[in-house]
Structure 1
């Protein structure tokens, strides 16, 4: 088994995935808030 050396793993794919997740979550949150505001104004 290879010896683990802290800080030497390539995490560029992990960082891209996390950045995409944060972007998607932020946009989804904005859309949900916009829908809630729209329904509060125009809902019956």
Structure 2
């Protein structure tokens, strides 16, 4: 552990995964809002 330097780890994979997760969450929220609007308009 003496060779470890903070900030030197490659985190590109973790960043890509995080960005993918955020995109998934945003798209899911859009779909949920669209479904709620559809239900509100057609009074289901």
Pairwise same-fold verdict (TM > 0.5): yes
Size of the aligned set, in residue pairs, is 44
Q: If the length of structure 2 is used for normalisation, what is the TM-score?
A: 0.88
1:1-44 residue pairs with structure 2 within 5 A? 1=1, 3-44=3-44
For each residue in 1:13-36, what CA deviation from the matched residue of structure 2 results, as whole angstroms up to 9, or x when unmatched?
000000000000000000000000
- Structure 1 gap segments, 5+ residues each: none
Q: If the length of structure 1 is used for normalisation, what is the TM-score?
A: 0.88
* Matched residue SS, 1:38: helix
* Matched residue SS, 2:10: coil
